[in-house]
Amino acid sequence: MHTKDAGTVGELAVILQLKQAGYTVFTEVGDNSSIDLIVVVNDQLLRGQVKSCQTVNGAATLPLRKAGPNGYLRKYIDDVNTIDFFALYVHDTGDIAYILAKEAFESCPGSTRLTFRIDPPKNGQEQGVRYLKDYTDFEGVLRDYEQRT
């Protein structure tokens, strides 16, 4: 599947889940913004960026930058005041994870991606391991969200 198609499928899966949960969702027309969705929660607008991936070695990866033709590069850290949350759709499992943008940037400063384990690490390591199952609840993002000033 072409990466643009994979991205569209990911966005639609996230929109479907949020709509089924009763949220009002607005989307972008085009692909030039760092905001893919706006979700209305208690008369407040939350701005989201949707990413999609396949699992590799039992893990899913959330990229924190976007590269394109002609040297185009967008680092989402530069949009820290524009994006409120990331939604990560995992194509081969159908899982969706929601991560506060602030948490993504603060937990891995200078990193270009966050990794989430689906399967336990083969070496048994537990310290510093993020499990995707701990991020599947959009309500969790809402509980942790701090009002923008």
Q: Taking a C-beta distance cutoff of 8 angstroms, is the pair 41, 144 a contact? A: no
Mean pLDDT lowest among 1-10, 30-39, 109-118, 120-129: 120-129
Closest CA to 65 of 111, 9, 30: 111
Number of domains within the chain: 1
- Which of the pair, 138 or 142, is modelled with greater confidence? 138
**CATH number for position 7:** 3.40.1350.10
Q: Is residue 61 one of the residues assigned to a domain? A: yes
Q: Is the pLDDT of residue 20 over 70?
A: yes
HSE (side-chain half, CA atoms, 13 Å) at 107: 15
For residues 35, 131, 113 and 125, what is the CA-based torsion angle, rounded to 10 degrees? Answer: 170
Q: Is residue 13 one of the residues assigned to a domain? A: yes
Tell me the chain's radius of gyration from C-alpha atoms. Answer: 15
Q: Is the pLDDT of residue 87 over 70?
A: yes
Mean pLDDT lowest among 3-7, 15-19, 123-127, 144-148: 144-148
Q: Is the pLDDT of residue 8 over 70?
A: yes
Q: Is the pLDDT of residue 19 over 60?
A: yes
Q: Taking a C-beta distance cutoff of 8 angstroms, is the pair 91, 52 a contact? A: yes
Q: Is residue 139 one of the residues assigned to a domain? A: yes
Q: Is residue 149 one of the residues assigned to a domain? A: no
pLDDT at 129: 82
Share of the chain above pLDDT 70, in %: 85
Q: Is residue 69 one of the residues assigned to a domain? A: yes
Q: Is residue 42 one of the residues assigned to a domain? A: yes
Full domain range(s) for residue 120: 3-144
Q: Is residue 113 one of the residues assigned to a domain? A: yes
Q: Is residue 97 classed exposed, middle or buried when 0-12, 13-18 and 19+ CB atoms within 10 A define those classes?
A: buried
Q: Taking a C-beta distance cutoff of 8 angstroms, is the pair 68, 31 a contact? A: no
Q: Is the pLDDT of residue 10 over 60?
A: yes
145 pLDDT band, cuts 50/70/90, is low
